[in-house]
Structure 1
């Protein structure tokens, strides 16, 4: 559901969604975590599905991006799963539009977010500066693998079984 304006404490960018959607733990993430993204990231995922071929050769980046984008979109369109999309105003454009949209959203609603899941190290730094400059917030920008640690912390996977990363 696009633009449903429910903000969960975890916000995720496009590349991070693709990365975790391509893991074997994606179904556990969708069943156990509540995530938010921006309309910019949502539309980037849709564009990847439209422009990248599902018939690209196995193990290519194009196929990985297409498949991950397609899997990442499903929970946002499923009313039974708590994944939401919020509007970003003003809407950024260009290469890093998804990351910029997360930064804008966090600047406008800092107190609502605990974690920003961002693939790009520079994007994490920029968002961490926003969190650091805000008063009374403990938010932090982290890498996509952090979602797997949240599953481990919630007891939804175990590292002893090899189905979740260990500490």
Structure 2
């Protein structure tokens, strides 16, 4: 029940992100367009590339998560059966066979390892995307000969 409540809470959070994302991207491209002109199209393109990279990553992550849950279920079911029938297993000296069977069901470790590597790659994309977008935008400005200036307000006087 707590998992279901957490999922409903997450849904409410992510529903707000859907409409906020479009507003944030629109405002960012507007600010870029006011300062860079056509260079803002490169920023929009780089942003779309980063967003499109997340689609296959989340699909693969979902598959890994399903495999992990199936493997955990199989392992827990078999472990429960072994513990329930422990007396018979000990009397028949089947310890080694059932130990081997339980250890072979530990394939969720492989799936967890793959999932963690994918999560690390997703984090790399998440944290590296601002730098990627800036590099693409400013490179496009250089190619299109858009002058980049720094207009800063003078520092406040201390008198």
- TM-score between both structures, scaled by the size of structure 1: 0.23
Between 1 and 2, higher relative CO (CA 8 Å, sep ≥ 6) is seen in: 2
**Structure with greater strand percent:** 1
**Structure with greater helix percent:** 2
- TM-score between both structures, scaled by the size of structure 2: 0.24
Between structure 1 and structure 2, the one with the greater Rg is 2
